[in-house]
Structure 1
Amino acid sequence: MRTMRQGPNIARQRLVQGMALAVLLVVGSVAVAGPSGILAWGENQRMLEQRSVRIAQLRDKRDRLRNRVDLLAPDHVDPDLAGELLRSNLNVARPDEMVMLVP
């Protein structure tokens, strides 16, 4: 009778050990090949560098736009910028002016 009780007990232990091994293998494979795993680390670094460059470009553009907004403040408009905007948007020019477009 003693052998009968050990048989199911051993089978249950092997089943538990097999399930634990399967869980560990899944966790290990996700750690290596998952979206934030070791294999994706290089790709994440490359994307971080690209986005850092893009952020710097956007900051420069924001600063240029902020400068133009400051120059167009209603209480102190920059006359040069106002003239530039009038000429470019409304095609306004004096008869004695020569317009040269510079790309």
Structure 2
Amino acid sequence: MIVLLRRALGAVFAPFLFLLLTAYFLWNALHGDLGITAYQHQKTLQAEAQTALQDAHKEQDIWRRRVMALNENALDPDMLDERSRVMLNSSRKGDLVIPYGEKNALY
């Protein structure tokens, strides 16, 4: 009887051990540090980083155009004077000031 029990345990032990090892490796393949779930998370982070990089390039282009527009040949002195007066809310003596309502703002 004991011999039969030993043979049964010996016959079941090896497949059970290999089944546990297989389950361990499958779980790590899905949920481990280098598993499929972590890979998908890294891919979403990469996509977000690519979007942020594109946004940064767009903003850099906008600022590059603004800086290039500050070239002394590109500035119109009359437009610069007008815009600075509007921004600073100032006028010269003798200027004609036309007030706008809140809903009819000039800028």
Q: TM-score, normalised by structure 1?
A: 0.49
Larger Rg: 2
Q: TM-score, normalised by structure 2?
A: 0.48
